[in-house]
Structure 1
Amino acid sequence: MSASTPTQERAKGAKARLSDRSRSEQRLGWKLAMPAFVVMVLVTGYPILQAVWNSFFAYRLTDPDNRHFVGLNNYLVSLTDQVFWSAMWMTILVTVITVVVELVLGFIIALTMHRIVMPRRTLRTLVLIPYSIITVVSGFTWLYAFSTGTGFVNQWIQWMPGIDASYNWFGGFWSSLFVISLSEIWKTTPFMSLLLLAGLAQVDTSMEEAAKVDGASWLQTLIKVILPSMKAAVMVALLFRTLDAFRIFDNIFIMTGGANDTSSLSMLIYRQTIDRTEIGLGSALSVILFLCVLVIAAVFVKAFKVDLAEGRG
């Protein structure tokens, strides 16, 4: 066997020191994060476990003495109920529509804020105004705007075919879906744009200039240079908004109350747990919603294949 050279020995020593330093940083990181982690587990872990436990029982809040174990029956009842699948369809529709539109609009706004000359802090503050409004207030505002009695939207767009002063936007499924989606898009697009703006700040301008020198068009530069460089930011923005949209409740509760098949999964959970006091069925639906959220998160992370530790800039 050949003896190690001094260069190899120094490399091994540096690797060992780096490993020791890395382990020390990991221990420090765990020590700093442990208090917050313990609090998070206590605050969120117990309710989750309690919901899972309750989902195995036929348990009505108004009749606590009649509580008995039913196993997976609550899940079977939920998954075989047409109301559940109607709520799932509504939830998926709202999620896909709002997230796709918000991604496009958010990226346009982010590009504008990234290129604009005026003070960026002022512009970002103005853009965030819709997002800063409480969702309940925003929902009531859109309800009144599209209402046949107090609204002004019908008066503004009476020139459109099929629209008059008495048109009821909340009288059908698709029209209700349009208003609900529009209110979500208006409120949360600023959040999406700020996340994408953070991704644009990580794009290497020298690569853009090199692409222009090579004769690439703006669209080619966008596809080949800008979007790949902000892949991590796009994933975070889509993930956060998808998980948030999938749990939509406020706007549906305020605008339609779940009428015309506009009930979402969160709305269905509210009905079972609060209106009907069916703690067992409501807990089973909550667990199903929680599993859906976990699956969505796993699919996004797997599909984008982004190492957030490398993409944090």
Structure 2
Amino acid sequence: MTATTPGSLTGAESRNRVGGETVGRLEQRRRRAALLFLLPTVVALLLVAGWPLLRTVYLGFTDARLGGTEEAAFIGFTNFGYLLTDPAWWQATWVTLKFASASVVLETLLGMVIALVLNAHLPGRGLMRAAVLVPWAIPTVISAQMWGWMYHDLYGVVNTLLVGIGILDAPVAWMADPDTALWAMVAVDVWKTTPFMALLILAALQTLPTEIYEAARVDGVHPVRVFFRVTLPLIRPALMVAIIFRALDALRMFDLAYVLAGGNPATATLSVYARQNLVDFQDVGYGSAASTLLVLLILLITIILLTVGRVRLAADTR
């Protein structure tokens, strides 16, 4: 038996060490290259999004007015204290949460149904996919203006249709009535953004292995049971991403509420409320504080959704 000194290595051990060091150096080079490629994007995001956000947070602690932000004085948490005691801000918060919750739930359910239909092997499937994306391709401002005409109490096609088929006895001023204005906005948002949810869910469905469904079909498992026990758990990560994206978008919704309702307090979201204080009342400090609280609300809801998603994923993997 040949003895080896502690500092000596056999040929195989030497090759393994050299190979490991080479792989390690390659990995480090790849990481440095990836960081270099990401650096321009990170810098652009910091300039485009990071600096305005920090500026808005800072102005929320001042008494800045429109056109005089440079002379603003630091007043601490005064603006935030006023916000938390302002009934209009709480009304806007409640409207935003109701709008986001109703929109995201309906869009997820309808998007799931549409995605399942588009994923099936039906004739004209390509044309159906293109047609479904049309509402999503229309800019939100144009969609809001179009639906505003359709909701008109005298000349709108919605009232004409509902009165014609006997659902309504008389035309309804959809956007003037606080009881119907919010749900009218939800209907428009569902019409426009459901294709986005359907597209994301369809992309997840098309990544699923067909062997699982063939085995279930051979075993005679009911399609509904296959959906809840196989399809839904497999697409849950993609579904959670889609829900988070839509929730973030719905919570900061501005253009739809502003164009359709024109700043009506009954349908004013947090974004509309912040804009009114910034522009209409020219109170930059107060409006910036409202925007800051909106960002914090979105951050809190995002953390909750991510936590719930991780818990569900952990439960599915057990």
TM-score by length of 1: 0.88
Residue 56 of structure 1: which of 50, 55, 61 is its match?
Answer: 61
Unaligned runs of 5+ in 1: 309-313
**Letter aligned with residue 211 of structure 1:** A
Which residue number corresponds to residue 216 of structure 2? 211
Residue 296 of structure 1: which of 297, 301, 307 is its match?
Answer: 301
Partner Cα distance (1:7, 1:202) in 2: 42
Q: Contact 2:151–2:158 at 8 Å: present in 1 too? A: yes
- Residue 150 of structure 1: how far off its partner (Å): 2.1
Residues 1-313 of structure 1 aligned to structure 2 (within 5 Å)? 19-61=24-66, 67-118=72-123, 120-158=125-163, 159-160=165-166, 163-259=168-264, 261-305=266-310
- Residue 174 of structure 1: how far off its partner (Å): 2.5
Q: Contact 1:155–1:164 at 8 Å: present in 2 too? A: no
Identity of aligned residues (%): 33
Larger radius of gyration: 2
**Letter aligned with residue 131 of structure 1:** W
Partner Cα distance (1:8, 1:214) in 2: 52
Which whole-Å deviations, capped at 9, do the CAs of 1:138-195 have from their partners, x for residues lacking one?
A: 101111111112202112112545x334321123222111210010000011111000
- Residue 83 of structure 1: how far off its partner (Å): 0.7
Partner Cα distance (1:10, 1:191) in 2: 53
Q: Contact 1:130–1:186 at 8 Å: present in 2 too? A: yes
Partner Cα distance (2:109, 2:65) in 1: 45
- Residue 204 of structure 1: how far off its partner (Å): 1.5
SS in 2 for 1:68: coil
SS in 2 for 1:61: coil
Partner Cα distance (1:151, 1:144) in 2: 6
Partner Cα distance (2:299, 2:124) in 1: 39
Q: Contact 1:202–1:229 at 8 Å: present in 2 too? A: no
Q: Contact 1:94–1:181 at 8 Å: present in 2 too? A: yes
Partner Cα distance (1:14, 1:215) in 2: 52
Which whole-Å deviations, capped at 9, do the CAs of 1:244-282 have from their partners, x for residues lacking one?
A: 111111121122223251110000011000100100011
SS in 1 for 2:72: strand
- Residue 127 of structure 1: how far off its partner (Å): 1.3
Q: Contact 1:170–1:176 at 8 Å: present in 2 too? A: yes
**Letter aligned with residue 285 of structure 1:** A
**Letter aligned with residue 308 of structure 2:** A
Which whole-Å deviations, capped at 9, do the CAs of 1:260-310 have from their partners, x for residues lacking one?
A: 51110000011000100100011111111111222222222222129x9xx
- Residue 213 of structure 1: how far off its partner (Å): 3.0
Larger mean Cα displacement after TM superposition, 261-270 or 229-238: 229-238
CA, structure 1 residues 19+119, in 2 after alignment: closer, same or farther (shift >3 Å)? Answer: farther
SS in 1 for 2:262: coil
- Residue 11 of structure 1: how far off its partner (Å): 8.3
Which whole-Å deviations, capped at 9, do the CAs of 1:29-83 have from their partners, x for residues lacking one?
A: 1111111111111111110111111111012226668732210111111112111
Which whole-Å deviations, capped at 9, do the CAs of 1:68-115 have from their partners, x for residues lacking one?
A: 221011111111211111101100111011111110111111111111
- Residue 5 of structure 1: how far off its partner (Å): 12
